[in-house]
Structure formats: structure tokens, C-alpha cells
Amino acid sequence: MAGLQQVLLIAGFGDWLPGWQPWPYLLIAAPAWLLARPRWSRSGVPPAWLRGVDRLRRVPVRVLVLGVLALAAGVWAVLQDHEPHLGHEEAVYANKARSWLDGTPDAGWGAYRPVGLPALGRLALALHDDTGALRVVALVLALFTLTTTYLVAAAWTTPRRAVVAMLLILSGLGFLRRVPEFLNDIGATGLLLLVVFLLVRAQEKPDSHALLAVPFVVLAAFYLRYGVVGNLVAVGLAALLAYGPRAWTRLGRRVAVAAAVLLMGLIPHLVHASKVTGSPLGMIFSATKQANRLFVGDGLLYYLAIFPYRLAGDLGAVVMAAGLFATGVVLRRLLRSRRADGQTLRMEERRRVFLGTTALLVFVILGVATDGEPRFVYLSVVLLTVLGVQSLAELAGRWAAPALAVVAAFAAVTVLGTAQVVAHGAMPGPDRLSDSTVPVARRLSSSGPCLLVTGYEPEVGWYSGCDAVTFAQYRRMHVPEGTEVSLLLFERGRLQPGKAGLQELIGGRETLVRTIPTSGSVGAATVITLR
């Protein structure tokens, strides 16, 4: 049923499913697979399966890795046609990148935004000044994170199991939904994975200099996305729990040097934050305040509600559940090891404690600190997937190779099915909005100084080339002389003033009123240009 469902999705019949959302058949069937384990674990692997696995083993791992990366690039290219316009978050970073390039206004930018992604965008726009160049940055970041996933997973498991982990990550709706977009979450995840890898290596290879590389990777992740602070707190707490404080004090000199380098790298940010917000931590706290949460902890409830299916899809959910199971097993061993008669954990077991508790703590810390979104917890998804692949291999025993081969094949098919879900189920919402905002913004572009006041300021700013602010911001700002000001309202727009508020904004000035019909979800636009 699960396979047939993916075939139907690929063939374009996903509208038979509510919201193009596949049913979790595999997640439901997983307990049956475990209950039947005593039977199939004693039976021999069919010769045909073994021959198929032997053929796969003849394919070099490097070719498999390149195949997964090519699949990711192909899906990225196809999805561009289904979401050709920049969304709200993308446009914010795009405006800043273009502002650094040619001095145009950075509509929608806030002090709490990190500078790393606009810096990459500025380089891309210098090569080719259009939306496509920014989306190429998104592709590069996605390929970087998938490659990092392979390298890290290969070091912790085996190269072929690492390829399976790559495919599973790519097949998940939570991940693939953001692959086409100019955002920083996927790239930051790759850097966070490197941090976790370096900390593991620092404990397992005490003579290595891995710890000295940690601050440079942390700084890159931080300047790419300030939100990694919560992830880094989770990583730090998990490292103390898994290895114990003494294991880190034994590396005292390297820990001190790494901390000093990290502090030096943060000084520019801390100084800037103090000037802008009055506090060295002002930008980080400001970013937290932007969360669209109803109450403290609603993000955690969201993650509990969608775990693991909505994060990783049907197949990925089974593997993540196996990773969670593996985490529970090693945590129990850790607790037993701390008793007087307990056995000391092996390094591999401590690594699993570290990876698993990091994944769980990320859910808890980010779930309490901010609102819930799948893209915020990619690190947890990757770590539990890697643990899950290893756990499934161990549970399968002599069936490990053919079982993982089937998982990999099904994951490759699922990537194509998930791409259809993204294209037809997840993307039309933002695209219907852009059918209103983009054509109007392009109509309002001007060669002279212009300011558009709207509830959709980042998108309108990018496609018009004008500065753009919200109605609330306009009330507080001083408009430079000679700037053409237009109030942009939509039939079903957000954050728009009523009649009295609109008259207050106009302030008795002469106006030119135009109506621009659109096919988008927020309806026609009314443009009030102040004279």
C-alpha cells in the first residue's frame, strides 16, 4: 500500500489524498515487522535478494553519493517552476543582499536577522542579478548539508548506510519543502552537524585537533542563523551528559583556546548588538520575540503532534522512531553505568547517547523558546535518522544488507513522490499570494525614490525595487522629501488599517487612487498615491 501510494503520487494522482498528504502505512506496519522478527531472523535470506545486494555493492559508493546529490539538484530544478517567486522570508534576505550590492532599500529587514545569508546572496547577485541566482545559493547549501550528512554518517556507521541516511533525509517532506527556497535553515544544519562531529572526534580521538576547529564552525553557523543558539545549547548539554564533565576538563587547554577564539569571533556581533539594542544579547532575544507562539511551550506541543511523520514522511518516520528507540536503550545503559556495580559505557555507546540526547534536547529547547516549524529542528531529524539506520541494521541481523537496500530504493522513489506533494500540496499557498503581490509590485516600480506601505513589505519591496514598510512602521517614520508614497491595500490583505486609520495616514493630502485586479488569493489591489 505504501509503495502504491508513492507511485500514485509520482503519477500525479495525489489529489486523491486529503491535501496531497500520504497516509503513514509504513509507520503503522512497523510494529508488525518487529513482532515477526523472531520468525524471519531465523530464516535464510533468499538467494535472489543476495544477488541483488551483490550487484549494488559493485557500484562504488562515490557514484551512489553523486547520484543522490544529482537527484537533489534535479528535484530542486523541477520545483522552481512550481514556486518561481520569492516568499516572505526569502524576500527579506534578498532585499538585504541587493541593498549591499547596489544600495536599494532593504525592505523588511530587522536587527534580529543574521547577516550570513544576505552576504552569500550578495555574491550571487553580483554574478547574476535575479531571483534564480539566489535560489542557486539555496541549492548549494542543500548539497553542502547532504554531503555533510554523508561524511558524518559514514564516520559513525558505514559509507553505504550513510547513503541510505542521505536519501531518507531528502525524501522527508519537512526537508524537501525548503530545498528550493533561499533560506538559511538547511545550510545551518550542515554546520551544526560538523560541530557535533568535531565534538565526538575530540572525545574519541584525544590527540586530534578537532576541538580547535569547533569555534570556527560555530561562528559560521551563528552568523548564518542566530537561531542555532538553541541547538548549540542542546549540543552542549548533551555533551556533558554523554561524556561527563571530567572528559572535557581533561581537554582543558584546548577547551580554553576554543572558547577564547569563539569569544573573539563574537565580539563584532556583541558590539553591534549593544549599539542597536542596548544589550550584547539583544539581537538573540529579539529574534526569540518574533516567534508566532500562543504561549510558552506551544512549539513543543507542535513537535509532539507532528513527530515523526510530518517531519520525515512515512518511511523516514519509521527510521526516526528506530533512532528514538536506540536512544532510549543507550540512555538506560548510561543510567545503569552510574550505579556502583554498573559497567562502563563504550565510546560508541556514549556517542549514541550524545547524538540521541542532542536530538531530544533540540525539540525541548526550541519548542519552549520559539514556535514550532519543521525547519527549526532539522538537526534532530538528521541525528535520529542516522541512529535509526544503524539501529535497523542491527535489528535486521543477517537481513541487514537486503533490508537497507530495500529502504534505500523505497527512499529514492519517495523523493519523487514527496516532490509531487511539495509541488502540488505545499507550494500553491504561497504562490497564490504571489499572484496578487508580484504583479502589483512590478506595476509600481519607479525610477525615482519610492515608498510602498503595505502588509507584504518584503515581497513588494523586492519586486518593485522601492522601499516598503508596514502601516505601523509608516506611522513612526519620517519620509525623505521627494519620495513618492503609495499606500497599497488588498481586498483580503493583512495588517491593514480601517477607514478611520486610512484617513489618518492620508492626513488631508491629495491622492491618486487606482485599482489593480489580480488573480491571487488576497484579491485586487487598491493603490493610494499621496501627492
DSSP states along 391-408? HHHHHHGGGHHHHHHHHH
Torsion, CA 190, CA 192, CA 197, CA 198, rounded to 10: 120
Helix, coil or strand: residue 530: strand
Residue 453 and residue 474 in contact, taking contact as beta carbons nearer than 8 Å: yes
Note the pLDDT of residue 418.
93
Note the pLDDT of residue 292.
66
Note the pLDDT of residue 383.
98
Helix, coil or strand: residue 450: strand
Note the pLDDT of residue 23.
83
Q: How far apart are CA 257 and CA 279, in angstroms?
A: 25
CA atoms in the 13 A half-sphere facing the CB of 14:
23
Q: How far apart are CA 211 and CA 256, in angstroms?
A: 10
CA distances in angstroms from 297 to 252, 287, 366, 531, listed in the order given: 36, 16, 9, 48
Number of H helices, E strands in the chain: 25, 5
Note the pLDDT of residue 131.
93
Tell me the residue length of the chain.
531
**Nearest CA among 376, 278, 264, 360 for reference residue 320:** 360
Contacts (Cβ under 8 Å, ≥6 apart) of 522: 433, 436, 437, 490, 491, 492, 493, 494
Residue 259 CA, distance from chain mean position: 27
Q: Which residues of the chain have pLDDT under 50?
A: none
Note the pLDDT of residue 482.
85
- 61-80 helix and 400-421 helix, angle to the nearest 10 degrees: 10
Q: How far apart are CA 224 and CA 37, in angstroms?
A: 45
Q: How far apart are CA 511 and CA 135, in angstroms?
A: 38
**Which residue is associated with the grid cell 490583505?**
493
Average pLDDT over the chain, rounded to an integer: 90
Contacts (Cβ under 8 Å, ≥6 apart) of 449: 467, 480, 482, 483, 484
Note the pLDDT of residue 175.
95
**Cα angle 191-135-194, degrees, rounded to a multiple of 5:** 5
| Cell (9 digits) for 36 | 515477526
| Cell (9 digits) for 26 | 509504513
Q: How far apart are CA 376 and CA 243, in angstroms?
A: 26
Q: What is the largest CA-CA distance in the chain?
A: 86
Q: What is the pLDDT of residues 436-475, one digit of tens each?
A: 999 999 999 888 899 999 999 999 999 999 999 999 999 9
| Cell (9 digits) for 198 | 568535531
Note the pLDDT of residue 40.
64
Distance from the first to the final alpha carbon of the chain: 64
User: How many other C-beta atoms lie within 10 A of the C-beta of residue 503?
Assistant: 11
Residue 184 and residue 221 in contact, taking contact as beta carbons nearer than 8 Å: no
